[in-house]
Structures are given as structure tokens and as C-alpha cells.
Amino acid sequence: MPFLEINQISAIFLEKMEEKSNLIYAILLFLISFSVILLVAIEERRKRLLKKIIEGIKEVSKGNLDFKIETKSRDELGELASYFNEMTQQLKQTKSALEETKETLEIKISARTKELEELAETREGIIEQRTKELQERLEELEKFYQLAVGRELKMIELKKRIKELKEKLEKKQKR
């Protein structure tokens, strides 16, 4: 009889083990299924975030610096999205500062160009006036030159005439 009891105990033990084994298999199956579903959900969430990041890169490359990636994720992709948002904000500020600098430079260039144009006009007026004065002086010099040359020629003629008269006088005195 003791053998029968051992067989019965073994059978009961095996039956209980089989029930527990089935329960363990069911729990394992549930855990594996839950893990797969959880991993798929996490992967889908990461894919959506990655698509948002790619969309943001495309928008920024088109010049849209107002694009923001909304995310609550704290993993690497969430951190990447956060840095992306900071980068676009800094780019926007830099672009704004450059545009302000450009406008300021354009105003300064316009003002300087106007100053230079006014200076050029003033210089042209001064040059015209100086040219006119120089032409008047040149005309005066030409008149003076003609007078001086005319006097010189007259002087030469007078000297010749004097010389001729002297010679005539000497000839008369010698006779």
C-alpha cells in the first residue's frame, strides 16, 4: 500500500505540477504578449517623434523657423527634439539680429551715399568756379603776353630805328 500511496502522491504532484506549469506558461505567454505590445507601442511613439523631427528639419530647411516639435518624451529622441527647438529659436534670433543689422547698414549706406553725392556736387561747383577763375586769369595772361610781346617787338623796331638814325647821323657828321 505504501507503494500505491507514493504513486498516488506522485500522480497528484505531477497533476499539480502540470497545472502550475500551465499557469506559468500562461503567465509567460501573457508577459511576452504584453512586452511585445508595449515594445510595439513604444516603437510607434518613437517613430511618430522621429517623423516630427524629420518634418521639423524639412520645415527649417524651407526657412520656417517658427516650427516647434511638441513632445513630452524624456528619452534620447525627446532630448533631440528639445535641442532642435532650441536651435530653431536661436536661428530665429540670429536671423532677426542679422536683418536688423542689414537694415541699419542700409540706412547708414544710404546716408553716406547722400553725403558723398552732396560732397561731389559741392566739389563740382568749386571746380567749376576755380576753372572759370583760371580761365579768366589765363585770358589775362594771354593779353599780357600779347602786350608784352607787342611791346618787345616795338622795342626791337625802335632800337633798329635808333640804330639806323645813329648811323645816318654819324654819316652826316662824317661828311
Question: How many domains, the chain?
Answer: 2
Domain identity same for 42 and 9: yes
Cα–chain center distance at 5: 94
Same structural domain, 14 and 75: no
Report the pLDDT value the prediction gives residue 94, as an integer from 0 to 100.
95
Which of 62, 81, 111 corresponds to the end of one domain? Answer: 62
Tell me the CA end-to-end span of the chain in Å, nearest whole number.
206
Q: Where are the alpha helices (DSSP H) in the chain?
A: 2-61, 76-174
Nearest alpha carbon to residue 90 among 60, 70, 50, 55: 60
pLDDT tens string 60-94: 999 999 999 988 888 888 899 999 999 999 999 99
Domain span including residue 23: 1-62
122 grid coordinates: 559741392
DSSP designation for 75: S
**2: burial class by Cβ within 10 Å (0-12, 13-18, 19+)?**
exposed
Is pTM beyond 0.75? Reply is no
Q: What pLDDT is stored for residue 64 in this prediction?
A: 93
> Residue-wise pLDDT tens for the chain (175 aa)?
455 576 777 777 667 777 777 778 889 999 999 999 999 998 998 899 889 999 999 999 999 999 999 888 888 888 999 999 999 999 999 999 999 999 999 999 999 999 999 999 999 989 999 999 999 999 998 888 888 888 888 888 888 999 998 888 888 888 6
Q: Are residues 75 and 139 in the same domain?
A: yes
